[in-house]
Amino acid sequence: MKFTTKEIMSILPHKAPFLLVDKVIECEPGKYALGIKNVTIDEPFFQGHFPTEPILPGVLIVESIAQVTAVMYCAEFMESMKQDASANNLSEVDIAKKIAEHVGYLVEIKSMKFKKTVHPGDTLHIQVWKKTTFASLSLIEAKVVVDNEIVAEGKISVSEKN
C-alpha cells in the first residue's frame, strides 16, 4: 500500500505547518510502514532552530514517526472498512473523516536516540513497526534513516481512539 501527500492530508487530522510526512511508500496495514519526509529550509522552525545553523529539531523527528504510525493505523482501518459492505455507500470525504476519527495520541516516548543531526536538503526515511498491542495502546519501534545512515531510532507508544 502507498499514500500520496494528498491522501495523507485527507486521512490525518494534521495539517501544515505540522504535517511532517510527505508520502508513505510502503505499508503493511497495522504492521509496518515506511514514510518519506523531505526537509527544506523553508520550514518555519528553522528561523529559530538555529538562525546560523539550521537543524531539524529531534522532537519533530519523533512527531514524524508518530504521523507515519498514524498512517499505518489508518491503513488497517481502511482495510477493515473495505470488508464492511455498509461503508460502500459513503463518499470519499466521509470515509476520510471516519478514518481520521481513529487517529489517537502519542502516549509515551520510551526511548529515542538521535545519532546524527538532520539538515535542510535531507530526506528522512521513517520506518515504523508495531511490536505489541495491549488494550488500546501499541508499542512502536522506529528507525529514521538519511542517506543509508540511521539518524534516530527508538520506541514510542501510541493510543488508539475508539
Partner 1 sequence: MNDIYKKAEEREKLCREIKSMMVEQLDIEMDPEFITNDQPIFGRGLELDSIDALELAVGIYDKFEISVTDDNTTIFSSVNTMADYIEVQKLENEG
Binding site for partner 1 (CB under 8 A): 107-108, 110, 131-132, 134-139, 157
**CB of 110 within 8 A of CB of 85?**
no
Helix (H) or strand (E) holding 81: helix 58-83
CB of 159 to partner 1, least distance (A): 9
Strands 23-28 and 32-38: antiparallel
Catalytic entry in 49, 102, 119, 125: 49
- Comparing CB distances to partner 1, the nearer of 22 and 141 is 141
- The smaller minimum CB distance to partner 1, of residues 82 and 110, is found at 110
CA distance 100 to 124: 24
Q: Is 18 in a helix, a strand, or coil?
A: coil
Q: Is 118 left (phi over 0), alpha (psi -120 to 50) or beta?
A: beta
Question: Smaller CB distance to partner 1: residue 8 or 65?
Answer: 65
Smallest separation (angstroms) from partner 1 to the CB of 107: 6
What gap in Å lies between CA 149 and CA 43, rounded to an integer? 23
Annotation says 49 is catalytic:
yes
Find the shortest distance in angstroms from Cβ 86 to partner 1: 25
Active site residues: 49
